[in-house]
Chain A
Amino acid sequence: MTSPIIQVQDLRKNYGAVEALRGVSFEIAEGEVFGLLGPNGAGKTSTIEILEGMRTPDGGSARVCGLDPQTSGDEFKRQVGAVLQSTSLPDKLRVSEAIQLFASLYGVSPSPDHLLARFGLEEKRDAFYGKLSGGQKQRLALALALVQQPRVLFLDEPTAGLDPQVRREIYDVIAELRAEKKTILMTTHYIEEAERLCDRVAVIDHGRLIALGTPRELKERGAGTTRIELTLARPESDGALRGLDSVTDCREIEGRTVLHSTRPPATIVALVKHLEASGNELKSLEIVPPSLEDIFIELTGRRLRD
């Protein structure tokens, strides 16, 4: 890895008695897209907001572009752009005015045309912010984050609450930024987002970083189990299937039964015997390579959206 542009060391943050971060450490190289993956309340936003300079850590250290986010002031703000998870703009502000306003605050030439074109907002240039759809607002947020051409981009749940089509549009924008070698730290609880967009992923849960690597490395790490997806004529109790040979986990996911097995052949033999004995019928069976979701379940014992 080239010299890190973001360094996080033993980061800690408490909200009253709640320990939101319990010693998180990682480094991000320049030009890397790094994902923080975890369920709600895992500590992703606390981490990213400390790195944005919006929150003060209770322990540990964070450096971005060699600067301390909490004390470096305007010099730091010019180096980083961000899409916040919960933010807004005044309803009566026009799209082009918003870009000009922030360009002016950063002291860069206020020419919104390029950004409007890049984010497909030309037709909305005179529209009020209050009249934009969720996807348009998010595209404007991305445009504003890039207005001063920052070295580092922080994206906190950039596609949360958006419909699948808009989400894919945002993915395309992030993929373009990745191709431009922009350093990006993004948080997400969407597995496919992390797999599709990130060079490396840190899995975070209960304020602790529990796994770190490329999506492929993480999946290989979970190769100890194989995912077997079943459709049955009638549902079986989790307990019955969990007891089958070599099964480590059994869940109902979107109408399908998902088993994790350390020895798929033995599990399948046991499954067929069990179904015959119980008079049930196997309608489909599929063996799939483990996904990041499986790895997450394996690491935390629960699903991302639990």
Chain B
Amino acid sequence: MKQSWTLTKFRIMLAMRNRAFLFFGVIIPVALLFLFAAIFGRGGGRAVAYVLASILAMTVMGSFWGLSQQLVIFREQGILRRFRLAPAGAGAMLASSIFSNLVLTLPAVAIEMALARWVLHMPSWGNLAGVFVMVTLGGATFATLGLVVASVANSMMETQVINQLLWLAFMLLSGVTVPLPTLPAWLQTVALYLPATYLVTGLQRALLDSAGPSQLGAEILSLGGSTLIAFFISRQIFRWEPEEKLPSSAKTWTLAALIPFLLLGMWETRDGQRRAQARSIFRSTYEAPQRKQQNKPAPDAPAAPAPPAPGSGVRPE
């Protein structure tokens, strides 16, 4: 444990000296918050919270990207093998990745929330305990997925290809950039198998419906379960040496990290309420204010244009 903490401090220190981390971890999400709020947040205060849920999810998910790259760079440059000589096992090295990521993500999340509340006039904080649990567990989930990618990829090039594919799927299909209810029905079903979807819907529910940890059971179970499995897998396939290659059979093993989401996706597809919840939150955010505005009489001037909603409208399941 002491070694994990020592390595965590070391990783945080390195991240703070990395301009790319500050740029991608703090500046870009804040810029996107204002951009998205300007485009999609004009429907009222709830729309800002809706946008914030996406930005928080994006900030949290970014962890898998940076961590996997850093670990592969460490391995390729022979830095990991220097640590191998010291009493710091794979578990301590991997745990330090998750802890440092969490420590670095929480301030960025706090800044984004504060800006949304005080500058963009988000009507309430939502349920802070719920937000904290989702950010913490989400951060751990995506950090461990990043560690699995780092162990699977044999080179920086491979890491980037895998990350691009995962990032694209998470960004487009989970509700981060395109609201889940506006996707075609079959894509909504695909989204139910992605970890990012549970992070986004969990954050939306915590921020917009004030859902606390006790109401976020499915999200907590799936993200927590995935974190544990992914951590176990990444520990089993961790490689210190640049020339060590992972056997193909071990690569298949890594898919086990997605088992919780496979099970949850199957259950949600058949019995779950996730799509209905996402639709309800979306409608209450964008369609209710739109209707209110349309019904309001315009005494002197023509009615203001309706706030644009992302996507072309809510699609059926």
Contact = CB atoms under 8 A, between A and B. Distances in A.
B85 interface: yes
B251 interface: no
Contact of A107 (B2, B18, B81): B2
A88 interface: yes
Contacts of B84: 54
Interface string B1-17: 01100110010011001
A90 interface: yes
B78 interface: yes
A5 interface: no
If over half of B's interface residues share one DSSP class (helix, strand or loop), that class is named, otherwise mixed; here it is: helix
A102 to B, nearest CB: 6
Interface string B231-274: 00000000011000000000000000000000000000000000
Interface in A55-104: 73-74, 77-78, 80-82, 84, 86-90, 92-93, 97, 101-102, 104
Most buried by B among A80, A97, A101, A107: A101
Nearest to B243: A15
A78 B87 contact: yes
Interface residues of B, number: 23
Most buried by B among A84, A90, A101, A102: A90
Interface string A124-147: 000000000000000000001000
Contacts of B7: 105
Given A78-B87, A105-B87, A105-B88, A97 B13 contact: yes
A26 interface: no
20 contacts: A54-B84, A54-B85, A73-B87, A74-B87, A78-B87, A84-B78, A84-B81, A84-B82, A87-B79, A88-B78, A88-B82, A90-B74, A92-B14, A93-B14, A97-B10, A102-B86, A104-B2, A105-B6, A105-B86, A106-B87
Contact of B10 (A73, A88, A101): A101
A174 to B, nearest CB: 19
A104 B8 CA distance: 12
B280 interface: no
Given A86-B78, A105-B6, A107-B2, A92 B17 contact: yes
Interface in B65-80: 74, 77-79
A102 B87 CA distance: 9
B97 to A, nearest CB: 14
B79 A101 contact: no
Contacts of A84: 78, 81-82, 85
Contacts of A93: 10, 13-14
Contacts of B78: 84, 86-88
Contacts of B74: 90
Nearest to A147: B86
Interface in B1-41: 2-3, 6-7, 10, 13-14, 17-18
A77 B18 contact: no
A283 B10 CA distance: 63
A35 to B, nearest CB: 21
Given A106-B87, A107-B2, A89 B14 contact: no
A205 interface: no
A100 B306 CA distance: 60
B79 A77 contact: no
Given A77-B86, A78-B87, A106-B86, A92 B6 contact: no
Given A54-B240, A77-B87, A84-B82, 6 more contacts: A54-B241, A77-B85, A87-B82, A105-B86, A105-B88, A106-B87
A157 interface: no
A52 interface: yes
Given A74-B87, A97-B13, A90 B82 contact: no
Contacts of A106: 86-87
Nearest to B92: A105
Nearest to A97: B13
A87 B84 CA distance: 11
B3 A105 contact: yes
Nearest to A101: B10
Contact of A89 (B2, B82, B87): B82
